[in-house]
Structure 1
Amino acid sequence: MSEHTSEVVLDGTEETILDQPQAGEAPWSRLHSRMIWVDVVQTIVSLSPAIIVVTVFDADLTWGSMWPALAIAAFGVIGAVADALRWFFTRYRVTDDYVERRTGVFVRQYRSVRRDRIRSVDTEAKLRHRLSGLRVVTIGAGQQSTAGEAALSLDALLKTDAQYLRSVLLHGEAHTQQAAQSAANGEKPPEEVTVFARFKAWWVLYNVFNIWAYAMALGLLWGSFWLVSTFGFDMSAFIGGLLDWDALGWGWTVAIGLASVGVIGVIGLGINYFTTYWNFELARLPGENGTLLRTRHGLFRQREVNRDENRMRGVQISEPVLWRWMGAADTSVITTGLDVWSTDEPTAILPRGPIWVARPVAAAVLGVRPNPLETPLRAHPAAALRRRIWWALLVVSSIVGVLGWFHVNDLVPGWAVWAGLGVAPVALLAALVAYRALGHAVVGRYVVVRSGLLSRATSALDRSSVSTIAVRESLLQRRLGLKTVSAMTAAGWGIYEAPDVAAQEAVAFADAAAPGLLEPFLVASSDEQ
């Protein structure tokens, strides 16, 4: 466990003690009971497909046709029962120093978060929460360890209670009460908000040309196939009757199939973009101990994340290689307390969009000039390209060698060996792309490093946050006169590297990237003595 969160397993005696707060202590509260009614509706809705199939449609009811509807019903019922048990066994309270929660059915757990350690407050509302006036509040305190979960989550609170709790945790009790008093008197105090970016519909173009379009399309088609099969509709026969596939031949059949699946996937990704990022806004607003960086977005599932800017250590812009020709970029903050592995991407501050928008927004978030993400970076020596070519040829040789051994033992045909040689141009091109991605610089208070093949990442890291600096070289790097400089920090990915820097420049760059860390180990040159 980290220093600012705690979790213990309670027996019955300890649980009874916690249920009876002493005089002056904050009482324990339940989650809102409205979620029970939401679960009842969820159960009814999940059972409706199976009921409709049985009572309305005259279909051949077999396990093969009924299992999708039954699976939906089972999933909905199990989820509703789990939510009901969680509501019954969960208690929480907010004291002057801690936010505490007790939960668990078979294993009772107690978790507390110190209020001065809270680093983000995330409010989320799925469609069922919005329709019922509920919100999910997730309080982050840097819990990125083995559990892979937020420090504390309350699912679900009444919307007004969630807003009040978020305001208290982010702005303090006094500010919240003053705002409530002003609202009661009909006054609306001005909100000191600086908006950096808002939703742009045309950014959908950067989010639909994606290899995941085929994955989404296959998922939609598979689900549709089983759903219509439940109602007795033969989709295979329907598709077979659309065109004369025998006359078209297998080439045109494959081409039409890929194009159709691609179009379905693009439409699906487009809908996903609009529903996910509708009403998006990136803004800075005041908090209890400084300023907060807030993102909020969502059509059906609304989400708001508030990040403590005192914990921010920099910004990273990533450019995926297959979409670099479009100028597509993903923008995220380098900060402590947010899980970089989370599928919800709490560190992302912009949807995927144009690089010429991401760079000035990142500079505005950092509040510095010149923009470290627009400064020309120092190129790496040609020896770095030779090193990548060496590795590319090694990979190609290994593939050809394995395929050759398979061919000698009659496991693969001879053309497979030639196909392995066909990998060589792709590998050499990848080596060139990876080399051109390299760059480094020190711009004001930030050290900037850039590298990456599949995703070229440019990271601007505050030099004061670098806790460790490392300069290392492999055997091949030593022969080529190269070194890798690594800046280590408690934020983001933890380590940001400038690979294959010229050996004569590496120590000077490392010293500039982390002022003072290397001074005890440096020896003055003869000219300085």
Structure 2
Amino acid sequence: MSHDTEQREATGTSNDAAEGPEWSRLSPRLLLVNLSMLAGPLALFAVTVALTGADLQALISLGSLVITFLVITGISTMRLLTTRFRVTGDRVELRSGLLFRSHRSVPVDRIRSVDLEAKPMHRLFGLTSLRIGTGEQSSSSSRKLSLDGITRHQARELRRLLIDRRGSGRATGQDEDVTIAEMDWAWLRYAPLTVWGVGSVFVGVGTAYRILHEMKVDPLELGIVKDIEDRFGSVPLWFGVLVAVVITAVAGAAISTATFVDAWTNYRLEREQDGSFRIRRGLLISRSVTIEERRLRGVEVAEPMLLRWAGGASLSAIASGLSNSDENRSRCSLTPPVPRDEALRVAATVLAEEQSPTELTELVPHSRAALRRRINRGLLVLAPVVAIPLGLGLWLTPVLVHTAWITALVGIPVVIALANDAYRALGHGIRDRYLVVRAGTFARRTVALQRDGVIGWNITRSYFQRRNGLLTIGATTAGVGCYKVRDVSLGVGLAYAEEAVPKLLAPFIERSPRG
């Protein structure tokens, strides 16, 4: 039954609203949350007036900001006053809107996720948001029901009610929830070993520059910049570059650590009595995500390069029934960066196996043609990095020519080393009821996917792959995505697909007359 049909049915039953459970409202405390949104703009407005007097431009800019926040707060308040929800025997119903009214209804047995999230202001007033997902393959928000602003007690009771009614899990014989993993602050040592912090530094600097530029302020003319220039303007260029790299790395590590603390404080992974898994975490924004065991299709162990060198990894679940692969990645993180052995232990526990399938070390290696492809691609990336300063040097100054050949001298061994690392990472295999795929150098990923969850194979061959007798074959699963075995020999790849899921690929293979 389509979602639109559900809406029409719900509209048809709305005339009988008096029957069944009573309609509930969002918490009145949400009004305090909405009003608190004005605190920042009003404080900024007052400080600006105090420091600059009644500067007309500042007053207009900040007045516009305050009006914008007033409109947003008004819309949020209207949502508070018009939103109603209830859970009947087999449905969740939500009404909202004043001028444009909406009445949505979702059968309980189609609910795929019931998640909780509380932002800082919501937590201050004892509120949380409950989001109900149906797993529809659509980015439309109408495929979800969201209750933004109910009490924590109400959210917990509603979550438990929905989970019990949909019968999501199997009988486990557990009398209480079992903790699989919880936060160990020794893991904090892995927090700086990501590139996201360094990327955030560049994003922050770019954003600040853009804001100053829009305000007609030249950052190079600021007093602090002039002071740095006066103090260090005479140092050699190489030293200045080195200092800038060190400062960026330190700032990036600090941001990564802060992000880790915010995202993973209060972390706990539990197996609930109904067999589903619940991940709770977050300092400023508290999150609670539930994954049904019956929708679990496997796990993915991710090892970014720096984290891998430190012996760490992170673990994610592969679960069907979500709206798309992006949501799968955002919701299904089972652990923060942890020691690799801990990630493998959690993987084995979640999959109810004695040993994690991702520990399969005897993966089938790929042909040397796959290594050549990685070297060639690396050289193609390096070529313009060398060619640009070389061309400018021949045109402008010989110094850039020296820069070009030094870059080539250093870059070629680096490219070859990275290509070899990427080639060694390539591999695939089968372990019991799982197929295992591994690839990547900057971020090595090892996937263990249930064979009975594979619904098809996606085979691609580029021109250069055809010349080298290679192909890329991907195992597809419903609502999860495609997990690819890259640059595998033609015969080996097809044989692997047939062994992993017998007879699934056979009808589409054309055999040559020779046999």
TM-score (norm 1): 0.80
Confirm or deny that 1:357 pairs with 2:350. Answer: no
Tell me the residue number matched to 2:171: none
Confirm or deny that 1:306 pairs with 2:290. Answer: yes
- Deviation of 1:393 (Å): 4.2
Residue 354 of structure 2 aligns to which amino acid in structure 1? R
Aligned residues, how many? 496
For the residue of structure 2 that corresponds to 1:350, the secondary structure is coil
**Matching of residues 506-525 of structure 1 within 5 Å:** 506-518=493-505
Paired with 1:311 and 1:174, the residues of 2 have a C-alpha distance of 13
Residue in structure 2 matching 1:379, options 365, 369, 372: 365
For the residue of structure 2 that corresponds to 1:208, the secondary structure is coil
Paired with 2:328 and 2:120, the residues of 1 have a C-alpha distance of 19
- Stretch of structure 1 that moved more, 396-405 or 262-271: 396-405
Confirm or deny that 1:116 pairs with 2:109. Answer: yes
Tell me the residue number matched to 1:328: 312
Residue 442 of structure 2 aligns to which amino acid in structure 1? L
Tell me the residue number matched to 1:195: 179
Tell me the residue number matched to 2:79: 86
Structure 1: unaligned runs, 5 residues or longer: 176-189, 525-529
Is the Cα–Cα contact under 8 Å of residues 19 and 28 in structure 1 kept in the other structure? no
Paired with 1:342 and 1:439, the residues of 2 have a C-alpha distance of 27
Paired with 1:476 and 1:246, the residues of 2 have a C-alpha distance of 51
Cα offsets for 1:375-426 (capped at 9, x unmatched): 1122212222123234444555677778888999999976786588565444
Confirm or deny that 1:345 pairs with 2:330. Answer: yes
Structure 2: unaligned runs, 5 residues or longer: 169-173
Paired with 1:519 and 1:174, the residues of 2 have a C-alpha distance of 37
Tell me the residue number matched to 1:185: none
Paired with 2:466 and 2:300, the residues of 1 have a C-alpha distance of 30
**Matching of residues 95-174 of structure 1 within 5 Å:** 95-104=88-97, 107-147=100-140, 151-172=144-165
Paired with 1:62 and 1:244, the residues of 2 have a C-alpha distance of 35
**Matching of residues 9-408 of structure 1 within 5 Å:** 20-22=15-17, 24-54=19-49, 57-59=50-52, 62=55, 73=66, 76-104=69-97, 107-147=100-140, 151-172=144-165, 192-217=176-201, 236-238=222-224, 241=227, 244-248=231-235, 250-287=237-274, 291-338=275-322, 339-342=324-327, 345-376=330-361, 377-394=363-380
Tell me the residue number matched to 1:482: 470
For the residue of structure 1 that corresponds to 2:334, the secondary structure is strand
Cα distance change of structure 1 residues 68 and 200 upon mapping to structure 2, 3 Å threshold: farther
Tell me the residue number matched to 1:437: 425
Is the Cα–Cα contact under 8 Å of residues 295 and 305 in structure 1 kept in the other structure? yes
Is the Cα–Cα contact under 8 Å of residues 422 and 439 in structure 2 kept in the other structure? yes
Paired with 1:174 and 1:497, the residues of 2 have a C-alpha distance of 33
- Stretch of structure 1 that moved more, 248-257 or 361-370: 248-257
- Deviation of 1:446 (Å): 0.4
Residue 123 of structure 2 aligns to which amino acid in structure 1? R
Cα distance change of structure 1 residues 174 and 351 upon mapping to structure 2, 3 Å threshold: closer
Paired with 2:66 and 2:438, the residues of 1 have a C-alpha distance of 49
Cα distance change of structure 1 residues 352 and 62 upon mapping to structure 2, 3 Å threshold: farther
Cα offsets for 1:22-49 (capped at 9, x unmatched): 4533343332222112212332344123
Paired with 2:137 and 2:281, the residues of 1 have a C-alpha distance of 24
Residue 448 of structure 1 aligns to which amino acid in structure 2? V
Cα distance change of structure 1 residues 173 and 372 upon mapping to structure 2, 3 Å threshold: closer
- Deviation of 1:310 (Å): 0.9
Cα offsets for 1:123-182 (capped at 9, x unmatched): 11112111212110011221342326762111011222111110101123999xxxxxxx
Cα distance change of structure 1 residues 111 and 476 upon mapping to structure 2, 3 Å threshold: same
Cα distance change of structure 1 residues 106 and 485 upon mapping to structure 2, 3 Å threshold: same
Tell me the residue number matched to 1:178: none
Paired with 1:225 and 1:405, the residues of 2 have a C-alpha distance of 31
Residue 24 of structure 2 aligns to which amino acid in structure 1? S
Cα offsets for 1:213-261 (capped at 9, x unmatched): 244446667769989xx9xxx9943565578223545554444444344
Cα distance change of structure 1 residues 225 and 435 upon mapping to structure 2, 3 Å threshold: closer
- Deviation of 1:329 (Å): 2.3
Paired with 2:386 and 2:240, the residues of 1 have a C-alpha distance of 33
Tell me the residue number matched to 1:505: 492
Residue 131 of structure 1 aligns to which amino acid in structure 2? L
Tell me the residue number matched to 1:179: none
Residue 163 of structure 2 aligns to which amino acid in structure 1? L
Cα distance change of structure 1 residues 34 and 362 upon mapping to structure 2, 3 Å threshold: same
Percent identity, aligned pairs only, is 32
Is the Cα–Cα contact under 8 Å of residues 379 and 412 in structure 2 kept in the other structure? yes
TM-score (norm 2): 0.82
Residue in structure 1 matching 2:455, options 467, 483, 499: 467
- Deviation of 1:463 (Å): 0.4
Confirm or deny that 1:456 pairs with 2:444. Answer: yes
Paired with 2:418 and 2:262, the residues of 1 have a C-alpha distance of 35
- Stretch of structure 1 that moved more, 71-80 or 148-157: 71-80
- Deviation of 1:497 (Å): 1.4
